[in-house]
Amino acid sequence: MKFFKLVKQGLIKNEYSDVARDIANNVVSMRIKEAEQNNQRLETTDIVNYYFTAYQETLDFLGDSSKYKTAYYKEHQNNRHS
């Protein structure tokens, strides 16, 4: 989760970060509304996965994001072994 905090704080950023963040926020909002309309509740992990997937796919579409993947996966691996 540290990766998301760094993105949110603007510490990990490139020219596409703001666009990717806005799109990811919109995707999460749409998913939450869909779930509410179907009388369902999303788990926190689902919301995080929707956010990260939308964020990452936007960066992949707009530009090279290998450093973002590396930062995320290193953090993810560290959390697994903790």
Quick: pLDDT tens for 64-76: 555 555 555 555 5
Instruction: Give dist(CA 4, CA 48) in Å, integer.
Output: 9
Residue 56 within any structural domain of the chain: yes
Residue 6 within any structural domain of the chain: no
Residue 13 within any structural domain of the chain: no
DSSP the chain: -HHHHHHHHTSS--TTHHHHHHHHHHHHHHHHHHHHHTT----HHHHHHHHHHHHHHHHHHHS--HHHHHHHHHHHHHHHT-
Instruction: Give dist(CA 34, CA 39) in Å, integer.
Output: 9
Residues 35-52 have a mean pLDDT of: 92
Residues of the domain holding 47: 21-80
Total domain count, the chain? 1
pLDDT of residue 2: 58
Residue 11 within any structural domain of the chain: no
Residue 9 within any structural domain of the chain: no
- Asked if the model's pLDDT at residue 26 lies above 90, the reply is yes
CB 25 within 8 A of CB 48: no
The predicted model scores a pTM of 0.58
- Asked if the model's pLDDT at residue 58 lies above 80, the reply is yes
Residue 43 within any structural domain of the chain: yes
pLDDT of residue 51: 92
pLDDT tens digit string along 2-21? 555 655 555 555 667 788 88
